[in-house]
Amino acid sequence: MPTPPTEQVPAIHHRRVGDITMTVVSDGFLDGSMAVLQNISVEDSSAMLRAVFRPVPRRTSLNCFLIHGPGGRVALIDTGAGTHMQKSSGQLPRNLAATGILPGEIDTILMTHLHPDHSNGLATAEDTAAFPNAELVMHAAEHAYWTSAEAEAEVMRTGQGVPTGGAYFPMAKRQMAPYADRLRFFEDGVEVFPGVTAVHLPGHTPGHCGYLIASGGESLLIWGDVIHLPEVQVPRPEVTIAFDVDPAQAAATRRRVFDMVATEKTHIAGNHVHFPATAHLAREGDSYRLFPDAWNQVL
């Protein structure tokens, strides 16, 4: 007798951007408190989720992105939560296996930033490189922040940016350590991988970046953590989160990016946009609305 399934199929989805193939690879999700949202009450943010039939407290999607470049080159944007967070996260290895790409075949890892839900998949439990042949690439300001004793002391004093205290700093350094001999830093606007340009989006962290994929007259902006909770922060871009190092700058960056992608009708993807993670954003009155992509059955 057939038995009902007990889990979903691997969560991957391919998108073409000109001659480049981008694959969204889910790392699972995290559930968390509404109290980390700032500039909005828990009651109001919870009501916004219930109004669109989303779970309360919040459920945050985690996505990573494979970029298939020329000559068989492969880049991975972010590495997920690894084994250090909730059991619902850390699904990148399983879902990556479903793409047919082995960790050793990835030659470039592009980091949006070094928060643990993005970087804890860099190293194994034995503190070796999870991606043994990859160069680790990030904005220079990101590396400088997480290796700064002064920044760590400030977080310990204020709690802003890292509500759990200073734990994120040793975690980031531990994850980077296996790649110490193959680190590369960049500034804004640099092509960091064939067809992929870095876009500095500071505020969430000092070196927080998105990546613009452009090929054959098409483009897609992977905007990292411009938003964490789409149902709240898209209509209310002033809403920040306790994980923002500089909340005012994060909100200003969000408004700037929203205005840009709405004006230019740019296709976007987000680490915390619900899987399959790609969408368009448009103005709606004095606010904005996100239009998630339907599953694309044609590649």
- Predicted local distance difference test score (pLDDT) of residue 157: 82
- Predicted local distance difference test score (pLDDT) of residue 164: 67
Q: What CATH number should be reported for the domain whose range is 12-292? A: 3.60.15.10
- Predicted local distance difference test score (pLDDT) of residue 155: 86
Return the HEC string of 83-95: CCCCCCECCHHHH
| DSSP structure class, residue 285 | T
Chain length of the chain: 299
Each residue's pLDDT tens digit, 143-167: 999 999 999 988 888 777 777 667 8
What distance in Å separates the CA atoms of residue 248 and residue 246, rounded to the nearest whole number?
6
Closest CA to 257 of 270, 274, 246, 245: 270
Closest CA to 290 of 224, 237, 248: 237
Instruction: Judge whether 268 and 261 are in contact, CB under 8 Å.
Output: yes
As a whole number, the mean pLDDT across the chain is: 95
- Predicted local distance difference test score (pLDDT) of residue 299: 85
86 CB neighbour count, 10 Å cutoff = 14
Indicate the pTM of the whole model: 0.96
Point out the residues of the chain with pLDDT beneath 50.
none
134 SS3 class: coil
- Predicted local distance difference test score (pLDDT) of residue 165: 63
- Predicted local distance difference test score (pLDDT) of residue 246: 95
- Predicted local distance difference test score (pLDDT) of residue 107: 98
Each residue's pLDDT tens digit, 42-58: 999 999 999 999 999 99
Domain locations along the chain = 12-292
